[in-house]
Amino acid sequence: MNPLPPLFLSHGSPMTALEPGAAGGFLHRLGPALDTAFGRPQAILAISAHSLTRVPVLVAGARHETIHDFGGFPDALYRLRYDAPGAPALAGRVQSLLAGAGIAVHRDEAGGLDHGIWTPLLHAYPQVDLPVLPLAWPPGWSAAQLFALGHALAPLAAEGVLVLASGSITHNLRRIVGAMQAGAVDAPATPESTAFRDWFASRGAAADWAALLDWRAQAPYAALMHPTDEHLLPFFVAAGAAGDAPEARRVHASIEYGDLGMDAYAFGPQAARLEQALAG
């Protein structure tokens, strides 16, 4: 099979599971596009903005329960299940790769899939048949540290493993409260969100990692779009997993509630192949 491009997905609200919108439509196309262009993944290594630990931890149980890590949503959302098989054998491979880079990682057999993982997979791979290995990570690590962590995982792409990072290209929930209360999911994009998202897309296309790793200082409206870092940092794990100075290609762009970016990225030399498969 062809090496798989690592991905960064903006997972949005848990309601994306019930109300897919434009991003959900993209996710429905994503799984078949990956299978067609690269062959079906053997397993998924998942890095979510909602799986945070003091040190890196692999959730290596044989099976995962669905975690409904949110409140105040319709009952139908809590009835959804994505109880995927685990990937304990892959955990050993990941431990070995990280150890080779001097990165210690713990292993825990207990755990499950938070909504940052199961919500996009529900659309991309609804068969719930692919083994999933969550990698929890320290939110205090810098973008450069997480890029290095991802870089240690680069051999996985040629081994049939899809590195899938999940977060949000913009994430300031206070800015979307009014639009959410009004039900204005299709509100026009704000200038601030557009400027931030387009900066990431242009710097990614240019593989300008000096700028991207310094996004807090260089990206327009960085503090406004990300009061805290955790929803953007998975981007850098996926980027590192594509190897040295990879291209970051935006393969989907949409907005919800005027400010919540739902953009998705593929990284490295295989990103263009995925984009072509999605277009086809």
Q: What's the CATH number where 57 sits?
A: 3.40.830.10
Alpha-carbon dihedral angle through residues 162, 20, 219, 144, given to the nearest 10 degrees: -20
- CA angle in degrees (0–180, nearest 5) for 60-266-115: 45
With respect to residue 67, please indicate whether it lies within any of the assigned structural domains: yes
With respect to residue 82, please indicate whether it lies within any of the assigned structural domains: yes
Helical H segments across 129-270, by residue range: 143-152, 177-181, 191-205, 209-212, 215-218, 222-225, 234-240
The C-alpha atoms of residue 76 and residue 108 are separated, in whole angstroms, by 30
With respect to residue 211, please indicate whether it lies within any of the assigned structural domains: yes
Q: Which two tokens stand for residue 236?
A: 């850098």
The C-alpha atoms of residue 14 and residue 5 are separated, in whole angstroms, by 25
Alpha-carbon dihedral sign for residues 100, 104, 105, 107? positive
In tens digits, the chain (280 residues) has pLDDT values of: 689 999 999 998 888 999 999 999 999 999 999 999 999 999 999 999 999 999 999 999 999 999 999 888 899 999 999 999 999 999 999 999 999 999 999 999 988 999 999 999 999 999 999 999 999 999 999 999 999 999 999 999 999 999 999 999 999 989 988 777 777 888 999 999 999 999 999 999 999 999 999 999 999 999 999 999 999 999 999 999 999 989 999 999 999 999 999 999 999 999 999 999 999 8
Query: What pLDDT does 156 receive?
Result: 98
Our count of domains for the chain comes to 1
With respect to residue 63, please indicate whether it lies within any of the assigned structural domains: yes
Beta strands in 84-187 (DSSP E): 106-108, 112-113, 132-136, 161-167
With respect to residue 1, please indicate whether it lies within any of the assigned structural domains: no
The C-alpha atoms of residue 225 and residue 220 are separated, in whole angstroms, by 9
Helix axes 21-38, 271-279, angle to 10 degrees: 110
For residue range 164-173, what is the model confidence (pLDDT) as tens digits? Answer: 999 999 999 8
Query: What pLDDT does 203 receive?
Result: 98
> Can you give the residue range of the structural domain that contains 32?
7-279
Query: What pLDDT does 26 receive?
Result: 97
In terms of Cα–Cα distance, which of 201, 145, 144, 124 is closest to 169? 201
With respect to residue 16, please indicate whether it lies within any of the assigned structural domains: yes
pTM surpassing 0.85? yes
Query: What pLDDT does 183 receive?
Result: 76
With respect to residue 94, please indicate whether it lies within any of the assigned structural domains: yes
With respect to residue 2, please indicate whether it lies within any of the assigned structural domains: no
DSSP label at residue 266: E
* CB count in 10 Å sphere of residue 150: 28
